[in-house]
Amino acid sequence: MSQVNRLASGGRIDRSKPMSFTFNGKTYQGFDGDTLASAMLANGVGIVGRSFKYSRARGILGHGAEEPNALMQLHKGKETIPNPRATQVELFDGLTATSTNGWPSAEFDLMSLMGKIGGMMMPPGFYYKTFMAPQKMWMTYEKFIRKAAGFGKLSLEADPDTYDKINAHCDVMVVGAGPAGLAAALEAGRSGKRVIIVDEQNEFGGTLLASTQTVDGIDAAAWAEQATSDLKGMDNVLVMPRTTAFGYYDHNFVVALERRTDHIGPVAETGTRQRLHRIRAHQVILATGAIERPLVFGNNDLPGIMLSNSVSTYINRYAVVPGQRCVVMTTNDSGYQTALDIQAAGRTVVAVVDSRHTPDGRLVQAAKAAGIQVMAGSGIIEALGSKHVTGAIVAPLDEAGDNVVGAGKTLSCDLIAVAGGWSPVVHLSCHTGSRPVWKDDVAGFIPGPTIQNQHLAGAVTGEYLLSEALNSGAQAGATASDTTSAQTFDCGDESTGASQALYLVPHTKPISRAPKQFVDFQNDVTAAGIELAAREGFQSIEHVKRYTAMGFGTDQGKTGNINGMAIVAKTMNKSIAETGTTIFRPAYTPVTFGAIGGRDVGELLDPARHTAMHPWHLANGAEFENVGQWKRPWYFPQAGETMQQALNRECLAVRNSVGMLDASTLGKIDIQGKDAREFLNRVYTNAWTKLAPGKCRYGLMLKEDGMIFDDGVTACLSDSHFLMTTTSGGAAAVLGWLELWHQTEWPDMEVYFTSVTDQWATCSFAGPNSRKVLEKLCTDVDLSADAMKFMDWREGTVAGIKARIFRISFTGELSFEVNVPADQGHYMWKKLMEAGEEFGITPYGTESMHVLRAEKGFIIAGQDTDGSMTPYDCLMGWAVGKTKEFSFLGERSFSRPDTARTDRKQLVGLKPKDPTVVIPEGAQIVMDPNQPIPMDMMGHVTSSYWSECLGHGIAMGTVKGGSDRMGETVYCPLADGRVLAAEICSPVFYDPKGDHHND
Amino acid sequence: MHHIYCPYCEEMREEEEYSYTGEAHIERPKDPAAISDDAWADYIFFRSNPRGIHHEMWYHAAGCRRYFNATRDTQSYKVHETYKMGEMPTITAATIAAAAASEQGDAS
């Protein structure tokens, strides 16, 4: 198909570089420099898709980010992208695009029948009113609604592209490179400030690229090229086209998305496809421009009805006229420029329909002088056509534009250009909470007051003349750079007549009966729908927005919101200023999650922490589990073993001979200073005053509410030197806690904290033969039972390496931990494995560790406690010092009425009645399984395992008043219907006297 | 994302380096045993929640690891000042109200 709408010359396209593309399976031609939209229009493509709710045929409305209709499905397979706007897709050779909806095709869509017939049954909020009953049918309805509605599809395959992120700082950030932005950046750049200037388009210049005006005697587009070249020549200015500043966050933090290869092909051949720029700026200049509004009239959504300045842009920038016979509808002088552009392109302007009764501005005169017919005091009340516009009914209106005051006349046309006024692009100014302000003289909202160091320039403030944009841009650039004088520009005579504030063109029929008058194209919200919302009692603009879904689409209502707000205001007899506006969140235009993820995906999603022994664990078949960011061996299956078989073997090995666990991940905090001992007294429940060097003690740490928050063994190295251990997951929080109390409450105490978790590797080995293993490698420490008692530590030489040896136990067996500097941890582990070989030393992981400690009734903070258990609740009253001088953290809370209750949930052991059963962790505990629902829940199971040593399942849990319920039977009703019975018992299932670890 | 001045590092740093740690200027009762349950509960559980000026603690977790204070507006997120632990704010809701009142006085 040839490019029927392409002009023979002109435009900024490169005719020496033709390109092929396909849309909905048909192949077309375009040129380098086209957008997909301009190329489609050049080829006479009318219908680009179907609307969201009513499935109405839709065409291209605009030329940029404001486009609500032309959402495309780009590329194929794993490269496919849902919903980019055709107006923002740069054409490349071989591009494939399809409509995102329409079945069997956008041209012939059966859903539109539903829209015609069923439209009456789908008013705003219909999904709240219909499909309500029967309730159980909702999931069925939802499937059909989901299929019928919606736009593009995601690929379910991994994104083939990579993305990255970069941080930047600058003195002046300029958002927008139209006339105002360029002038601002030139000024700031010349002052020597570090400047970053971004624009979403492939070329800087904005409106200058389609303008027929001059700047200081130079053609607008040529001036833009020169300005861009000047900026690129400045070392202190970073020029970034194809970069959308989509979010403006607190304290002048702007995030921008740079599209590096989208214009080249479906996938980046080398490097990253897109880059996220995270920019901290001293000053931000918003030069984001304004978007033209359509007008609301009957059937205003027909293909062939476009924004007036978009028509001008297609003509002047892309050399495309999207029609042969055009009617221009305008409320201001802008429409006349389009009429002149169409005529200059050799097409017919049937008439300019102006709602104003006596327009006589400079452009109006020029149009009349060119022989263009002007129908003043009139409006298009209805467009005609089914798949494309074929005509417009024009009728005379009263002065206010509220009523039709005469008979309508039908004009035949295939293009309607609508100039409904301008809406400043305020979006970024709202992102940190500033509310835009209505200005009557602008008939628009402009950015409101803000605490950010922000400047405004150009059309975003309601100044629509080119000279105003350039001059205010230069001024903003100067202010932001702390310079006083700014360049001024001359654009000749720009005198303009007054605009009329008209949003909805009345029909002869009332709104509820007239042909649909669309306000929000993307979400199919009509004027009648908004009136209905107001009638149903939705008075606040925020409620109207949510009830009608106005402004909800991916276009954030760029062309619809103001018209919608004006209609709401009118319906409620308020001014627009009184009605107010909804505001905007990032992103200004959609951002792919790939760009937000950047490089932090896959293996780089989260740091993985490995101990020094990691290579050994990998080589020996360990299965791993995540403990915080640590990869810890979970269990070490041998060939053919199930997990349970591995656990059984590991646990038996520990109880019968010797097993070894990598305990390097536990937090280790080195505490020094003359007040270290007193500090420990304050943060732990137990007493530390008499702990001698060479001794260790288990410490319990509470928050001020008396609840357990962490625990660990702390060793006394000297009177002013301690080594504290914490849980693996709690290390950072505990360090922060210690610092908090020292820095904010007790700064006079002399004590220093250093994290040494990564500096020491820990081999923990347990079992009756553990001492024999150590004795083979360590000869300078007396390791006998009398010399090295339970909870002693010694410095010694193990396998030739200076080490700290601790006799502590979490398994209830005779147990030692050897700490060496981390870079020797792997070596130490191997030497211990070697020494233990004759005893069948068995590596074990976290799961066996959990089983072994549970057999001894030892809690794990964070598993058996959840921030609501006191030491007494956990049967650890023995760890609470009763005669400590300083009221340690949490002590006072013990006597709070709630903490002192006797029926609090207490730690208990649970022995399943059926010895083969392992109760699921988390199971709720009740006394009577036959009581009616909701049952009285007495507690829950916190830890539960199969104990190979004991030959039955064991569990720990919390039960209200559990300490007084020894021997009682409780029940765990499960979601699958089973009820498991268990007997409350002591949580110390194994070796209750503690003979083993005292050997 | 906030941009916050660490009074110890003497630099503006990104919010990502810090951890917010709650209301500032809360002193632990010197003699917990002597105060009532209500007073103790007040100290543990209750915090002010103003719309406007809030004095709060921040921890430079990924930097110098010092705790410091900030005077921040909870509505506009403007950080009026940051000051070292142990110091008092120079900007408060009262000083801001007084400044606004005297400005109005000047204008009228």
Of A397, A426, A425, A408, the residue nearest A330 (C-alpha): A397
DSSP string across A519-534? EETTTTEEHHHHHHHH
Cβ contact, residue pair A740, B67, below 8 Å: yes
Neighbouring residues of A411: CB distance < 8 A, sequence distance ≥ 6? A327, A350, A351, A391, A392, A394
Q: Phi then psi for B68, rounded to 5 degrees?
A: -140, 175
CB within 8 Å of chain B, chain A residues 882-901 = 887, 891-893, 895-897
Q: How many A×B Cβ pairs under 8 Å?
A: 61
> What letter represents residue A364's amino acid?
V
The H or E element spanning position A834 is helix A825-836
What is the predicted pLDDT for the residue at A135? 66
Cβ contact, residue pair B37, A895, below 8 Å: yes
Other C-beta atoms within 10 Å of A965: how many? 18
Which residues of chain B does A451 touch, with a Cβ-Cβ cutoff of 8 Å?
Answer: 73, 76-78
- Cα–Cα distance measured from residue A392 to residue A329, given in angstroms and rounded to the nearest whole number: 10
To the nearest whole angstrom, how far is the Cα of A892 from the nearest Cα of chain B? 6
**Long-range Cβ contact pairs of B38-46 (< 8 A, separation 24 or more):** B40/A892, B40/A893, B40/A896, B41/A896, B43/A704, B44/A704, B44/A705, B44/A893, B45/A705
Asked if A970 contacts A907 with a C-beta cutoff of 8 angstroms, the reply is no
Residue B17 tokens, joined: 């380096």
Residues of B with CB under 8 A from a CB of A: 1-3, 14, 19, 21, 27-28, 31-33, 37, 40-41, 43-45, 57, 59, 61, 65-67, 73, 75-79, 85-86
Residue located via tokens 């656990």 = A647
Peptide bond into A134 cis (omega under 30): yes
Of A744, A893, A895, the CB nearest to B67: A744
- Cα–Cα distance measured from residue A336 to residue A343, given in angstroms and rounded to the nearest whole number: 11
**SS3 for A460?**
helix
Neighbouring residues of A68: CB distance < 8 A, sequence distance ≥ 6? A61, A62, A520, A521, A522, A553, A555, A558, A559, A560
CA distances from A815 to A179, A699, A773 (A): 77, 18, 11
Asked if A124 contacts A519 with a C-beta cutoff of 8 angstroms, the reply is no
How many Cα atoms within 13 Å fall on the side-chain side of residue A551?
21
CA distances from A553 to A128, A301, A539, A543, A726 (A): 19, 16, 21, 16, 50
DSSP string across A691-744? PPTTBEEEEEEE-TTS-EEEEEEEEEEETTEEEEEE-TTTHHHHHHHHHHHHHH
Asked if A980 contacts A940 with a C-beta cutoff of 8 angstroms, the reply is no
What is the predicted pLDDT for the residue at A108? 72
What is the predicted pLDDT for the residue at B40? 97
- Cα–Cα distance measured from residue A561 to residue A558, given in angstroms and rounded to the nearest whole number: 6
Residue among A250, A276, A683 with most chain B CBs within 10 A, to mutate:
A250
Name the residue in chain B with its Cα closest to that of A744.
Answer: B85
Neighbouring residues of A925: CB distance < 8 A, sequence distance ≥ 6? A910, A937, A938, A939, A940, A941, A957, A959, A970, A971, A972
Q: Which ranges of A94-162 does DSSP label H, i.e. alpha helix?
A: 111-118, 126-129, 138-148
- Cα–Cα distance measured from residue A309 to residue A417, given in angstroms and rounded to the nearest whole number: 8
Of A275, A208, A273, the residue nearest A243 (C-alpha): A275
DSSP string across chain B? --EEEETTTTEEEEGGG-EEEEES--PPPS-GGGS-HHHHHHHHH-----SSEEEEEEE-TTTT--EEEEEEETTT--EEEEEETT---S--HHHHHHHHHHHHHHH-
What is the predicted pLDDT for the residue at A709? 93
Longest Cα–Cα distance of chain B, Å, equals 55
**SS3 for A565?**
helix
Of A818, A837, A838, the residue nearest A826 (C-alpha): A818
Cα dihedral: A822, A823, A829, A834 (round 10): -150
Q: Which ranges of A401-448 does DSSP label H, i.e. alpha helix?
A: 427-430
CB-neighbour burial class of residue B105 (10 A; exposed 0-12, middle 13-18, buried 19+): exposed
Longest Cα–Cα distance of chain A, Å, equals 115
Which residues of chain A does B43 touch, with a Cβ-Cβ cutoff of 8 Å?
Answer: 704
Q: Phi then psi for A72, rounded to 5 degrees?
A: -110, 155
Q: Which ranges of A550-668 does DSSP label H, i.e. alpha helix?
A: 561-571, 576-579, 593-597, 614-619, 643-656
Of A736, A745, A891, the CB nearest to B61: A736
**SS3 for A454?**
strand
Pairing of strands A253-259, A274-286: antiparallel
CB within 8 Å of chain B, chain A residues 422-481 = 432-433, 451
What is the predicted pLDDT for the residue at A626? 95
Q: Evaluate if pTM is beyond 0.90.
A: yes
- Cα–Cα distance measured from residue A428 to residue A615, given in angstroms and rounded to the nearest whole number: 50
pLDDT digits (tens, 9 = 90+) for A480-498: 999 988 899 999 999 999 9
Residue A403 tokens, joined: 């009523």
pLDDT digits (tens, 9 = 90+) for A332-375: 999 999 999 999 999 999 999 999 999 999 999 999 999 999 99
**SS3 for A113?**
helix
Of A249, A743, A892, the CB nearest to B66: A743
Which residues of chain B does A897 touch, with a Cβ-Cβ cutoff of 8 Å?
Answer: 37
What is the predicted pLDDT for the residue at A110? 66
To the nearest whole angstrom, how far is the Cα of B97 from the nearest Cα of chain A? 17
Name the residue in chain B with its Cα closest to that of A167.
Answer: B14
CA distances from A650 to A489, A655, A682 (A): 83, 9, 39
Task: List, run by run, the mean pLDDT of 10-residue segments along chain A (999 residues).
Answer: 90 97 97 98 95 92 97 95 97 96 71 60 64 67 66 90 97 98 98 98 98 97 98 98 98 98 95 97 98 98 98 98 98 98 98 97 97 98 97 97 96 98 97 94 94 97 97 98 92 95 97 96 95 90 92 94 94 92 94 95 92 98 96 97 98 98 97 98 96 96 96 97 95 96 98 97 97 97 95 97 96 96 98 98 98 95 92 95 95 95 94 97 97 96 98 97 96 96 97 76
pLDDT digits (tens, 9 = 90+) for A63-99: 999 999 999 999 999 999 999 999 999 999 999 999 9
Neighbouring residues of A247: CB distance < 8 A, sequence distance ≥ 6? A254, A255, A428, A431, A586, A587, A588
For A929-943, b where at least 16 C-beta lie within 10 A, e where not — what string?
A: eeeeeebeebbbbbb
The H or E element spanning position A775 is helix A770-777
Cβ contact, residue pair A896, B28, below 8 Å: no
How many Cα atoms within 13 Å fall on the side-chain side of residue A507?
20
Cβ contact, residue pair B86, A747, below 8 Å: yes
Which residues of chain B does A739 touch, with a Cβ-Cβ cutoff of 8 Å?
Answer: 59, 65, 67
Provide the 8-state DSSP code for A613: T
Residue B107 has pLDDT above 70, yes or no: no
* Cα A513 → chain centroid: 42
**SS3 for A509?**
coil
- Cα–Cα distance measured from residue A976 to residue A956, given in angstroms and rounded to the nearest whole number: 22
Peptide bond into A934 cis (omega under 30): yes
